[in-house]
Amino acid sequence: MKLEMKLKNNAARSVNPYGCKQEVLNQINYVKEQGSYEGPKKVLVLGSSSSYGLASRITAAFGAHADTIGVSFERGPKDKTMLGTAGWYNNIFFREFAEKEGLIAKNFIGDAYSLEMKEAVINYIKEEFGGKIDLLVYSLAAPKRTDYKTGITYTSALKPIEKTVTGENINLEKEELFTQVVEPATEEEIEGTVKVMGGEDWEWWVELLKEEGLLAEGFKTTLYSYIGPKATHAFYHEGSLGVAKKQAEESSNRINESLKELNGESLICVSKAVTTKASVVIPILPKYLICLYKVMLEKGTHETPIMHKDRIFRTMFYGEEREFDDKGRLRPDSWELNEEVQQEVSALMEQLTPENFKSDLTAYNLFRKEFLNINGFEVDGNTIDEVNFEDLQKMKP
């Protein structure tokens, strides 16, 4: 069957499994080109199937030669109209590439928020993974979370607080720039966002692993966060997500206290803006991204998720070039938030119109290509655009 990219607004409705394979390989090759580094050896990545989670897993495995466990919620092929998610295939091909190099690459598919998943991972670490881990990456991005202690399901909402925000966004399906109005979050939505996107579940993971004696001496853990420019502060820094990230920082402080006896550390890592399944549906952000990419490309500082996370692992998590702010957060986003970069991005955003946003004035074509790459389309090096459904059914994560 022939594979074609299908979009519904800014969400993918199709996937090219072999493009996903090539994209994973391209990221692996990038890491190998940078050479080996001294890093973690036993790694657990929560939210491991795409974007920053996948990039973290790849740099740990192919840069530091680490065994890894990945947890993600993905779907496999159901029928010829539903071939599964890109993350499903990323998991499969990452495992295959890692095992070829003698590395352990265990995939758990399911709800990372659940107690059942936590217990399954704990048992695997005890019985088959050497008994301890030295790094936990928390990179979950989900719309909902069920608190297994209460049974209550919470839903997140990326909205401003106490004000209505109007801005321009990009519709990738129609390739249009349009005006978007976002109403303020309710108290229930703010609470739900904190529960889903905050640090409570992260704390619970670390607590359970520590209670079972599964954390190695010098253990590290990180949660990926974002602050971004003034253009997105209404949603991130000052909005419902900002409240959640503040709570995550409080969680990190408590985790740090609990890890003192292990000489361990907890790090909030404020990352740069990149093209992800989540970022393309956030109001205003796509318009900002096409301008940011243009400016950073010209300055030679544009990074994809693998470039960004590989740099962080080498120079910050396991290197001596750490950049912290006054709240103790790691700030590799300094390249993005450089004053000169932000001034040029702001000026460029003011020039955009529905007629010129796709022109060479911006990096729209790169932004769109990176989004298609996430789903296995237009991937450099891939030439396969047909699949046999029965072959896909045989693939196991």
Q: Which of 30, 138, 236, 364 is catalytic?
A: 236
Looking at residue 140, its pLDDT comes to: 94
Looking at residue 116, its pLDDT comes to: 98
Overall domain count for the chain:
1
Looking at residue 236, its pLDDT comes to: 75
Whether 335 is covered by a domain: the verdict is: yes
Whether 55 is covered by a domain: the verdict is: yes
Whether 279 is covered by a domain: the verdict is: yes
Q: What is the pTM of this model?
A: 0.96
Whether 171 is covered by a domain: the verdict is: yes
Which residue stretches of the chain are H helix?
A: 17-34, 51-63, 86-100, 115-128, 187-197, 200-211, 240-258, 285-299, 305-312, 339-351, 364-374, 389-394
CA 334 from centre of chain: 18
Looking at residue 281, its pLDDT comes to: 82
Do the beta carbons of residue 249 and residue 200 sit within 8 Å? Answer: no
Q: Divide the 397 residues of the chain into consecutive groups of 10 and give the mean pLDDT of each group.
A: 91 95 98 98 98 98 98 94 95 98 98 98 98 97 94 94 90 93 94 96 98 98 92 82 94 98 98 91 90 98 98 97 95 97 96 95 97 97 94 92
Do the beta carbons of residue 133 and residue 65 sit within 8 Å? Answer: no
Looking at residue 126, its pLDDT comes to: 98
Tell me the residue range of the domain where 12 lies.
7-394
Residue 236 annotated in active site: yes
Of 160, 156, 165, 163, the closest CA to residue 188 belongs to: 156
**How far apart are the C-alpha atoms of 37 and 317, rounded to whole Å?**
11
Looking at residue 237, its pLDDT comes to: 77
The domain spanning residue 190 has which CATH number? Answer: 3.40.50.720
Whether 1 is covered by a domain: the verdict is: no
> What tokens were used for 238?
């000052």
Whether 142 is covered by a domain: the verdict is: yes
Whether 2 is covered by a domain: the verdict is: no
Whether 258 is covered by a domain: the verdict is: yes
Looking at residue 166, its pLDDT comes to: 87
Do the beta carbons of residue 250 and residue 313 sit within 8 Å? Answer: no
